[in-house]
Amino acid sequence: MATTRILEWCGRLYIWLLLAFLYLPIIIMALMSFNVSPFYQLPFEWTTEWYASLWLNDQLISATWNSIEIAIITTVISTVLGSAASLALYRHEFRGKKALQALLFPPIAIPWLITGTAMLIFFFGVGIGRGLFAILLGHVALALPYVIVVVSARLQTFAPELEEAARSLGANQWQVTSRVTLPWIMPGVIAGGLFAFAVSFDQFVVSYFLSTPGQTTLPVEIYAAIRKGFTPEINAVSTIIIVVSMALMLLTARSFKFGGEK
Amino acid sequence: MAGVQVANLSRSFGAHKALDDVSIDFADGGFYALLGPSGSGKTTLLRQIAGFDFPDSGRIAIGGESVERVPVEKRRIGMVFQNYALFPNMSVADNVAFGLSVRGEAKATIASEVQRALDLVQLGKLGARRPHQLSGGQRQRVALARAIVTKPRVLLLDEPLGALDKALRVDMQIELKRIQREIGITTIFVTHDQEEALTMSDRIGILRDGRLVQEGPPEEIYDKPKSEFAATFLGDANILRGETTGTGIRLADGTAIAAGAGATLAAGAKASCAVRPERIRIGTDSGTSDPNANMLRGQISKRIFAGNNSTYFVDRDGQTIKVIVQNTGVEKLAEGQKVVLRWSPESTVLIAASQDMD
């Protein structure tokens, strides 16, 4: 009995340590965004000054909006294209299919530093150059393989007879896809979309290579700001982003019950 | 409702001939079983009739209309799949409603038709359930309701009872037959279960290696098989091989076996006779009996008691003959005993030496 209780206690301790490891730095950062001292000095004195001054930091705000915009557009484009590609790979046999599938994976493994350099050279070569449009193109290219991998994995659990049954009942290709196949793979599509959003929103390396000084994304802007001298405004903007993105994640997870569907 | 005609249908997958010049006429309103071992082409034939796959050559007509190049969604067929293929994201009622809904029928019409179909399969109260909340037999009924609610011209069933346990399968056989009679729909049923084919269908087509071996009513195929394969695949049969005398065969040891049915053959050719195990009488006396009866002597090597009947394995000249005897409480034959087997020429079917026996 006693050993069971000790083991149980150890298990709980382990979970708490794990959570602490994941969340402690974030919590400290969030706390410091409310601290008067810009140099992490204690005792803690409550203030919302940094949030107020955040609204006056035009550069940081415009970079945040850029990041959000690019992440949303990247998510939409790469989720739609990636899901369609997964469906095509699932349904059709064609020449070079194996090669195409094999070539979809390496971009995930290639270091972003190299992809970023390659994109910079390529975009200059074809006349796209740098800027927000180049960043968007880059992010879509980075996110696509993730979406295809996740949606394809979900499609592996789909019974092909379901599409045949729908067709035998008179459904055309669009009706089969929208009413039978899509509802089944939706958790995969959502997960793929979240991946795409994360790849874009977190993206520093490729964005850094492709941005111009005035027009940039939040990670690049934060990096630039830190180099100039740290301000707690960074803590403030980071805290806002963490709260919003965690809320989004929890909502999605709740409404789609990942893996819990039969 | 409509009949289905299949004429000279062939389909190959690479070097494999899945269907080889198959022609069958499926009568309007009939219940037809396609029977064969796995790989015989029965499912390929069903999928051709459904329209999931197109033939290399040959014709398919539904209700007199050529459909061999018409895709499945335009053929107006109903199909029940082996694993039911119910849509997991929809309720039972929505599953059944699917065919009407993609057609754009009015909501009120859909609701009443769905209820009627669910009532027909005796699931009227379960419309709100999800497929995963149903038993195997109930899923089967939903799949059937979904297939017939659109009033298809023909109902195709791909081993629909294969996943059910035995007791449930017998229930469903009766149920399926009742529903089929009630709506009078032409039904084509793929199975590898000979008992199912015998008890349910008006006609049976036996397929082997992509070819139609024999086709006809169950009694006819059972009583007059045209090949050793048909004889042994549909029911049990003893096959005796020898040279034909025109009206029977002569075995290697010179014993003559008279056949009252089957092929007409020129004397001297290789041929065989098929006899059903339950048609053979077994006894110890060699005396009084019908002088026309076929007779063989042998020794019982094994007896299997199965309650209402017993199966005897009788060894004779290197061959084992199977005999099934109803348990009348009189016959008491032991293993090792020497016996005489008799059966009438009418129970003997002459079969030409076939290419289809390996």
Q: Does residue B189 belong to any structural domain of this protein?
A: yes
Q: What pairing do the DSSP bridges indicate for beta strands B270-275 and B348-352?
A: antiparallel
Q: A118, A52 in Cβ contact below 8 A?
A: no
pLDDT given for residue A257 in this prediction: 57
Number of domains in chain B: 2
A8-52 pLDDT per residue, tens: 899 999 999 999 998 898 888 888 888 877 777 777 777 887 888
How far apart are the CA of B90 and the nearest CA of chain A, in angstroms? 9
Q: What six digits make up the tokens of A243?
A: 């709260």
- Supply B37's token pair: 């071992």
B329 CB near a chain A CB, below 8 Å? no
What is the rounded radius of gyration, in angstroms, for the C-alpha atoms of chain A? Answer: 23
A169/B89 touch (CB, cutoff 8 Å), yes or no: no
Domain end point (choices B201, B223, B245)? B223
Peptide bond into A43 cis (omega under 30): yes
Are residues B232 and B216 both part of a single domain?
A: no
State which residues form the domain around B298.
Answer: 228-352
Tell me which chain A residues have a C-beta less than 8 angstroms from the C-beta of B74.
170
Residue with tokens 């077994």: B282
What band does B71 get if pLDDT is binned at 50, 70 and 90? very high
Residues B187 and B260 in one domain: no
Cross-strand partners of B338: B299
Check CB contact under 8 Å for A183 and B72. Answer: no
Q: Is any Cβ of chain A less than 8 angstroms from the Cβ of B150?
A: yes
Contact B150 A169 (CB under 8 A): yes
pLDDT at B9: 92
**Distance from C-alpha of B112 to C-alpha of B97, rounded to nearest angstrom:** 10
Nearest CA in chain A to B80: A165
Q: Please, what is the end-to-end C-alpha distance for chain B in angstroms?
A: 41
Coil, helix or strand at residue A7: helix
Residue pLDDT tens, chain A, 262 long: 678 888 889 999 999 999 999 889 888 888 888 887 777 777 777 788 788 887 777 888 888 888 999 999 999 999 999 999 999 999 888 888 888 888 888 888 888 889 889 999 999 888 888 888 899 999 999 999 999 999 999 999 888 899 999 999 999 999 999 999 999 999 899 989 988 998 898 888 889 888 887 788 888 888 888 887 777 778 888 888 888 888 877 877 776 654 444 3
Across the interface, do B78 and A167 touch by the CB < 8 Å criterion? no
Residue B192 lies in a domain: yes
- All residues of chain B having their beta carbon less than 8 Å from the beta carbon of residue A93 are none
Residue-wise pLDDT tens digits, A64-81 = 888 999 999 999 999 999
Residue B131 belongs to domain with CATH number: 3.40.50.300
Split at pLDDT 50, 70, 90, the class of B149 is very high
CB atoms within 10 A of CB B262: 22
CB < 8 Å from B in window 171-190 of A: 171-172, 175, 179-180, 183-184
pLDDT of residue A221: 86
Whether B357 maps to a domain, the answer reads no
Q: How far is A102 from chain B (nearest CA, A)?
A: 26
Three-class SS of chain B: CCCEEEEEEEEEECCEEEEEEEEEEECCCCEEEEECCCCCCHHHHHHHHHCCCCCCEEEEEECCEECCCCCHHHCCEEEECCCCCCCCCCCHHHHHHHHHHHCCCCHHHHHHHHHHHHHHCCCCCCCCCCHHHCCHHHHHHHHHHHHHCCCCCEEEEECCCCCCCHHHHHHHHHHHHHHHHHHCCEEEEEECCHHHHHHHCCEEEEEECCEEEEEECHHHHHHCCCCHHHHHHCCCCEEEEEEECCCEEECCCCCEEECCEECCCCCCCEEEEEECHHHCEEECCCCCCCCCCEEEEEEEEEEEECCCEEEEEEEECCEEEEEEEECCCCCCCCCCCEEEEEECHHHEEEEECCCCCC
Decide if A170 and B99 are in contact by the 8 Å CB cutoff: yes
- Kindly state whether residue B358 falls inside one of the protein's structural domains: no
B284: exposed, middle or buried (C-beta count within 10 Å: 0-12, 13-18, 19+)? exposed
CA B242-B244-B249 angle, to 5 degrees, is 60
ipTM confidence:
0.82
d(CA B38, CA B209) in angstroms, rounded, equals 9
Please name the residue ranges forming H helices in chain A: 2-32, 49-54, 58-91, 97-104, 106-109, 112-126, 132-155, 160-168, 173-176, 182-201, 205-210, 218-228, 232-256
B357 confidence band (pLDDT: 50, 70, 90): very low
Query: What pLDDT does residue A259 have?
Result: 45
B chain contacts of residue A164, beta-carbon cutoff 8 Å: 52, 72, 79, 81, 85
Joined together, the tokens standing for residue B190 give 């793929």
Residue B201 in tokens: 């269908």
At residue A229, the 3 state secondary structure works out as coil
Place of tokens 């492709």: A210
Domain identity same for B130 and B249:
no
Q: What is residue A1's predicted lDDT score, i.e. its pLDDT?
A: 63
Domain boundary among B169, B196, B223: B223
Cα separation of B134 and A112, whole Å?
50
Compute the nearest-CA separation of A59 from chain B (Å): 47
pLDDT tens-digit series, residues B226-236: 888 999 888 88
| Same domain flag for B13 and B145 | yes
Are both B157 and B49 inside the same structural domain? yes
Same domain for B150 and B66: yes
Does B81 contact chain A (CB < 8 Å)?
A: yes
* Mean pLDDT, residues B120-147 taken together: 89
Q: Is B160 at the interface with chain A, CB within 8 A?
A: no
In the prediction, which pLDDT does A85 show?
Answer: 93
A163: helix, strand or coil? helix
User: Cβ of A256 under 8 Å from any chain B Cβ?
Assistant: no
Q: Would you say A115 and A78 are in contact if contact means Cβ atoms under 8 Å apart?
A: no
Q: Of the residues B197, B223, B249, which one is the last residue of a structural domain?
A: B223
pLDDT score recorded for residue A238: 84
Residues B77 and B184 in one domain: yes
Please name the residue of chain B whose CA is at the shortest distance from the CA of residue A167: B73
Summarised one tens digit per residue, pLDDT across range B74-93 is 999 999 998 899 999 899 99
Instruction: Answer yes or no: is B49 within a domain.
Output: yes
Q: Largest Cα–Cα distance in chain B?
A: 79
Nearest CA in chain B to A174: B102
How far, in whole angstroms, is CA B85 from its chain's centroid? Answer: 23
B356 pLDDT above the threshold of 70: no
Show residues of chain A in contact with B99, CB under 8 Å: 169-171
Residue B282 confidence (pLDDT) above 60: yes
Domains and CATH numbers, chain A: 69-256 (1.10.3720.10)
pLDDT at B289: 65
- Cβ contacts (< 8 Å) between A162 and chain B: which residues? 85, 87-88
Query: Interior CA angle at A185 toward A181 and A191, to 5°?
Result: 155
**What confidence tens digit (pLDDT) does each residue in B325-336 have?**
888 877 678 888
Q: What is the chain B residue with the closest CA to A183?
A: B89
One domain, residues B146 and B217: yes
Q: What does the pLDDT read at residue B12?
A: 92
Closest CA to B30 of B195, B175, B170, B205: B205
Contacts of A171 in chain B (CB under 8 A): 73, 98-99, 102
Q: Is A170 on the interface with B (CB under 8 A)?
A: yes
* Chain A interface test: which of B46, B72, B82, B113 (most A C-beta within 10 Å): B72
CA distance, residue A174 to nearest chain B CA (Å): 10
**B52 lies in the same domain as B190:** yes
Cα–Cα distance for residue pair B297/B150, rounded to 1 Å: 61
Q: Check pLDDT > 60 for residue B28.
A: yes
For B49, name the nearest residue in chain A, comparing CA atoms only.
A168
Q: What is the pLDDT of residue A87?
A: 92
Q: What is the pLDDT of residues B239-252, one digit of tens each?
A: 988 888 878 888 88
Percent of chain B with pLDDT over 70: 96
The reply to whether B98 touches chain A by the CB within 8 Å rule is yes
Of A168, A170, A160, A163, which is closest to residue B50 (Cα–Cα)? A168
B156, closest residue in chain A (CA to CA): A168
Q: Could you tell me the CATH number of the domain that includes residue B317? A: 2.40.50.100
Is B215 inside any structural domain? yes
